Amino acid sequence: MPKHRDFKDRLYGQFARIGKALGNPHRLEFLELLAQCERTVDSLATETGVSLANASQHLQALKQAALVESRKQGLFVYYRLADPAVFELCAAIQSVAQRRLADLERLVHEQFGDRATPEPVRLEELLERRRSSAVIVLDARPVSEYQAGHIAGAISVPVDELQRRLRQLPKNKEYVAYCRGPYCVYADRAVELLRGSKRRARRLLQGFPEWRAAGFPVEHGGDVWH
C-alpha cells in the first residue's frame, strides 16, 4: 500500500471518531444541554430520560472523542464542552439537517405549528433593541442555566414559574423570550403565556448558545428576578 494511502486511511479514521461519537441522538442532546452550562451525569440522565448507566456510557464515548471534559467536585463529576468548536459542529449538523431533511421540517411543524407569527426576533435585532427601556429580555431556561451565563440585561423567569409571576410583569413593555436554542419549547411557551395575558411578546429565533457564539454581550451569575 502506498505510504500516502496509509496516511489518508489513518487521517479519515481520526475524523470518523468524531462522527461515531455523534451518531446517537442522546449524545447530541447531551451536547446541547452542555452548551448551556456544565452538568452532572445525574442531571443529564434526569433531563433526557435515560438511565444513569446509559448516560455515563454516552458521556464516556463523547469524552473519548475529546468532545467533552470533566472535573470532580466532592462526590460529583461535572461535564462541559471541551471547546466552543463543539457547539459550532452541532450547529452545523442542525443547519445541514434544516436544509436537506424534509422529515425534520415536518417534525418541527407538528410540534410548534406556524412559528412565523408573531415573527421571531433575530440576534442582530435583539442586540440593537435590548437596551431600550421598552423591551424586556426574558430568559425562560432553568435558573441554574441563567446563572451560568445569560444575555446581558436579561431577567430570569423560568417558564414553569411564568404563569404565577405574570402579575409582576408590566403590561406596557415588549418581551423577547429566549431559551436553549431553536428547538427548545421554553421560549415558545413563554410567548404563548405572555400574549395570552395581553402582553406583546416574541421569541428569539436562536438561543443563548448562538448569542454567545456570535460574541454578543453575556453576563454570569446575578440575582434572579422575582
Convert 160-182 to b/e letters by CB count within 10 Å (16 or more is b).
eebeeeeeebeeebebbbbbbbb
- Reported as a pLDDT band with limits 50, 70 and 90, residue 117 is confident
Rounded to the nearest angstrom, the gap between the alpha carbon of residue 19 and the centroid of all alpha carbons in its chain is: 21
Cα four-point dihedral sign 103, 94, 27, 178: negative
Mean pLDDT of 17-46: 97
Let me know: does 141 contact 208? Beta carbons within 8 Å: yes
Domain residue spans in the chain? 3-87, 112-219
* Residue 85 per-residue DSSP state: H
Distances (CA, A) of 217 to 17, 37, 126, 182, 208: 34, 17, 11, 19, 11
Q: How far apart are CA 96 and CA 142, in angstroms?
A: 29
Contacts of 5 (CB under 8 A, 6+ apart): none
Catalytic residue among 37, 90, 179, 184: 179
- pLDDT digits 0-9 by tens, 125-159: 999 999 899 999 999 999 999 999 999 999 999 99
CATH 3.40.250.10 fits 112-219, yes or no: yes
Whole-model pTM: value is: 0.91
Instruction: Reply yes or no on whether 179 is catalytic.
Output: yes
State yes or no: pLDDT of 196 exceeds 70: yes
Pair 121, 154: CB distance under 8 Å: no
Q: Is 201 helix (H, G, I), strand (E, B) or coil?
A: strand
Res. 116 pLDDT band, cuts 50 70 90? confident
Which one, of 220, 209, 214, lies nearest residue 87 by Cα?
209
The band of 3, judged by pLDDT with boundaries at 50, 70 and 90, is confident
Cell of 198: 395581553
Express each pLDDT in 38-57 by its tens digit: 999 999 999 999 999 999 99
Query: pLDDT grade, residue 2 (50/70/90)?
Result: confident
Q: Check: CATH 1.10.10.10 for 3-87?
A: yes
Residue 121 burial (10 A CB sphere; 0-12, 13-18, 19+): buried
